[in-house]
Structure 1
Amino acid sequence: MAIQQKILVTGACGQLGTELVEALRRKYGWKNVISADVHPATDTSGLYVRLDVLNKKKLAYLVQHRGIKQIFHLAAVLSATGEQNPQKAWEINMQGLLNVLEVSKDSKVQKIFWPSSIAVFDAKGEVNPSTVYGISKAAGEQWCRYYFERHGLDVRSLRYPGLISHKTKPGGGTTDYSVEIFQEAVRSGKYACFLKEHTTLPMMYMPDAVRATLELMDAPKENITVRTSYSLAAMSFSPRDLAAHIRSHLPGFELECYPDFRQEIAESWPMIVSDYRARRDWGWQEAYDISRMTEDMLAHLMQKELC
Structure 2
Amino acid sequence: MKKILVTGALGQIGSELVLRLREIYGANNVVATDIRKVDCAVVQSGPFELLDVTEASTFTTIARKYNVDTIMHLASLLSANAENNPLLAWNINMGGLVNALETSRELNAQIFTPSSIGAFGPTTPKDITPQDTLQRPTTMYGVNKVSGELLCDYYYHKFGIDTRGVRFPGLISYVAPPGGGTTDYAVEIYYEAIKNQSYTSYIEKGTFMDMMYMPDAIDAIIQLMEADASNLIHRNAFNITAMSAEPEDFAKEIRKHIPSFKLNYDIDPGRQAIAESWPNAIDASAAKKEWGFKAKYDLSTMTEDMLKKLEKKLVQHAG
Q: Is the pair's TM-score, using the shorter chain for normalization, greater than 0.5?
A: yes
Amino acid at match of 1:49: E
Match of 2:4 among 4, 7, 12: 7
Amino acid at match of 2:21: L
Give the TM-score, by structure 1 length.
Answer: 0.97
The equivalent residue for 2:35 is: 38
Q: What does 1:1-150 correspond to in 2, within 5 Å?
A: 5-41=2-38, 42-43=40-41, 44-109=44-109, 111-123=110-122, 124=125, 125=129, 126-150=134-158
State the 1:304 CA deviation. 2.2
- Mean CA deviation greater in 38-47 or 242-251: 38-47
The equivalent residue for 1:255 is: 263
Query: What secondary structure is seen at the aligned counterpart in 1 of 2:6?
Result: strand
**Following the alignment from structure 1 to structure 2, what is the Cα–Cα distance between the partners of residues 245 and 99?**
43
Question: 1:144-199, CA deviations, whole angstroms, 9 ceiling, x for partnerless residues?
Answer: 00000010000000000000001111110000000000001001111111111211
State the 1:205 CA deviation. 0.3
**Following the alignment from structure 2 to structure 1, what is the Cα–Cα distance between the partners of residues 150 and 45?**
36
Aligned length: 303
Amino acid at match of 1:208: D
The equivalent residue for 1:298 is: 307
The equivalent residue for 1:182 is: 190
Query: What secondary structure is seen at the aligned counterpart in 2 of 1:203?
Result: strand
- Mean CA deviation greater in 225-234 or 23-32: 225-234
Q: What does 1:133-172 correspond to in 2, within 5 Å?
A: 133-172=141-180
Q: Is structure 2 residue 257 aligned with structure 1 residue 245? A: no
- Mean CA deviation greater in 294-303 or 119-128: 119-128
Give the TM-score, by structure 2 length.
Answer: 0.93
Match of 1:211 among 213, 219, 234: 219
Q: What does 1:244-283 correspond to in 2, within 5 Å?
A: 244-260=252-268, 261-283=270-292
Aligned 8 A contact 1:236 1:271 in 2: yes
Question: 1:204-257, CA deviations, whole angstroms, 9 ceiling, x for partnerless residues?
Answer: 000000001100000011011113311111101001110011001100001111
Query: What secondary structure is seen at the aligned counterpart in 2 of 1:233?
Result: coil
Amino acid at match of 1:216: L
Q: 1:62 to 1:185 in 2, by over 3 A?
A: same
State the 1:127 CA deviation. 1.3
How large is the Cα RMSD of the aligned pairs?
1.0
State the 1:107 CA deviation. 1.8
**Following the alignment from structure 1 to structure 2, what is the Cα–Cα distance between the partners of residues 301 and 54?**
34
Identical positions, percent: 45
Aligned 8 A contact 1:144 1:227 in 2: no
Give the unaligned 5+ runs of structure 1. none
**Following the alignment from structure 1 to structure 2, what is the Cα–Cα distance between the partners of residues 135 and 296?**
34
**Following the alignment from structure 1 to structure 2, what is the Cα–Cα distance between the partners of residues 230 and 106?**
25
**Following the alignment from structure 1 to structure 2, what is the Cα–Cα distance between the partners of residues 128 and 294?**
33
Query: What secondary structure is seen at the aligned counterpart in 2 of 1:15?
Result: coil
